[in-house]
Structure 1
Amino acid sequence: MATTKISSTKSTSRAINYAEKRAEEKSALNCDIDYAKSSFKATREMYGKTDGNEGHVVIQSFKPNEVTPEQCNQLGLELAEKIAPNHQVAVYTHNDTDHVHNHIVINSIDLETGKKFNNNKKALHDIRQANDEICVSHNLSIPEEKAKLRYTQAEYSVLNKGKTSWKDEIRHAIDQSQAASYEELGNDLQQNGIKIERITDKTITYRHLEEDKKVRGKKLGEDYDKGGLEIGFNRQNEQREEQARQRELEQARREKIKRDKEREKEWARFNRSTQAIRQNRERSEREERERERKARELEEQNRRAREERVLLQSFKSTIK
């Protein structure tokens, strides 16, 4: 049994940093996994699409002991090929929770058209349908009851007409939220015309304000009930902690660069000062040597003059 969620990200580099740090397995579509960040950025710049969301992250989770990390990563790559065949995608497999799961980071740009990936309600439905097809092809379980609850026949009928059901609007609003608590989720949903009607020890109920209809989270699917939400909250808190750590590291790196530059300037000033002192000393030494030389020459001249006077006096005495 595999479940999927999708969210948008304004920084694929941060998403990759978080996913890569704990990855046991990794693979890529349409790029080199070791250069995914730079490849994603180069593509966005080439098409002039550097504003807004840089990409999207699909979380693909499997039930305990159903797949190995290697199998999980391969299934993630298969899902990427189905949902984003013309995009650059990096797939990272984590095994640090009860559920082995993939972080599938999708670059926003279609390599053939240059258009951005359309993360809407239909995309979420297509991702889940593709995921179910992959599970079936590999003889993995699909939660039949949950699937019926998630999309009723009436909802499928609405989707086939290119429209969206009010339940799907609730799902999509929850998927787009990056909340780390019920309070944050409630604020995000309120902006989309949805209210958290009630929370009990085991259940959560939502109200679609425009339709004035209520639905329990478990009727929407496992990801929208309390258990699924709290897994998402924990993951979001982990991501925030990692992002905060990365910011601290980046700040420390910048401060070190600044200190190193200041140190280089200090050394440059010290070297200039030392050089000036050395030059002054050498000039003083040269001047001192020159004075000593002239003093010796003068002394020699005086000595010779004295000798000449003595000789002259001696000569005069001899003549007398």
Structure 2
Amino acid sequence: MAYTRVTRTANGRGALMYAAGHTKGHNGHEQRNAMVGYVNLLPGVDPADQMQTRWNKARKNHTTQVLRIVQSFSKNELNPDNPEDILTANMIGQEFVQKHYPNRQAMVFTQIDGKSGLVHNHVIISDTDLIASKGCTKDQYYFPKIMEWTNEIAGQYMELDFGDKTEDKTTQTERHKREVGEYVWKDDLKSRITESMQVSETEEDWISNLTKYGVNVEVHDSKKRGKYYTYELMDTSKFPDGKKIPANLKSRSYKLGTRYDAEEIESYFLKKEQELQKQKAVQREVPEEKVRRQEPRTKLQEQEPVSPAPKPVHRVKQKPAQKPVARPAMPKPKVPAQTTNIVRLMGEDDIDDMTDVVDEPVSRDDTDWMALALERKMRQDAKKNREKTQERLNTVRKDASYMTRLRSSDVVARIRNVQREDDNSPDL
């Protein structure tokens, strides 16, 4: 189903006279209308006079007299050469008025005299109802709603032909101007949009580049249509000299055709981005392949084999020189009394010093078994004392961490207990 336009006019009589047409139709047709239908009007009486009585009852600020709706049918829906299809079109127009514009006077003019030769209706509806003398509601003026209502009625008579989406939409007037070589501002707008797309890599670039081409664009998002653009031609330098420039040079993207709508433009830049990525990938791969295949060996590489790199040597960080520690003289094996001469450890520093002493090798004769036994004994005693001292230090540290929770008497008692243990412990 195709719809051309919906208009409101203050000259209802003129609209009725134009639609009725008492002369030949367009393109040499003998008559203008193939069929005329009446809704709440008497045939044979001037419809303008009948509607005038109602227009006179409307308020003074109610200037709109009639609503003009054009309904067009494709040849797959209604055949202009079949009289029955012409009758069907007229019945669709009358039922449309009766259901969605009740209590209003209307005329339905069914014609086939256009350049395309399609069956179409000119429905002229009075904007003043018969009961309250009020105008139409917002829905009755709203173009998408009128399309929906027409499809609803026409779908009961035929299978609707919505056709393929048109890439480039043009009106009859625009096509006629093209044929005679006149300037069409929408064609100028479309060419600027296309040129801007060709020099842009992304949608964002394209939107910013449009201003350089004399076009302003607004991005919209609606629940019904989704995302779409509103284009405005800002550069009017191509208008012929002396020709009046229209005040409104705006057009929505879906009215220009799918080629200029948001969905098609997003798809265009997505494909463009994918192609650029493929080209970059090829440019990265080809040089690497050439280097792999054509990389010659140098003479130095052919004559002298490359020796493996030496393994890194990990150097141990040396401690700063310490003062020499006096070593105790090793007791002679025949003097057993010296075996009890063991130093008693008082803290961690003493343990470390003693460990350094006993851990260092002692020069001795391998046959001196008594010296070996004494050294082993000293090592064992030092280890035990170191562990015991460490235990005591841990106890003191633990007690210190809880010092804030202990009473002074408890602290004194703990210290005395440790001292008693020291007094009772055997000498080292």
The TM tier, using the shorter chain, reads 0.3 to 0.5
TM-score using structure 2 length: 0.36
TM-score using structure 1 length: 0.47
RCO higher in 1 or 2 (8 Å CA, sep ≥ 6)?
A: 1
| Higher Cα radius of gyration | 2
- Which protein is richer in helix relative to its size? 1
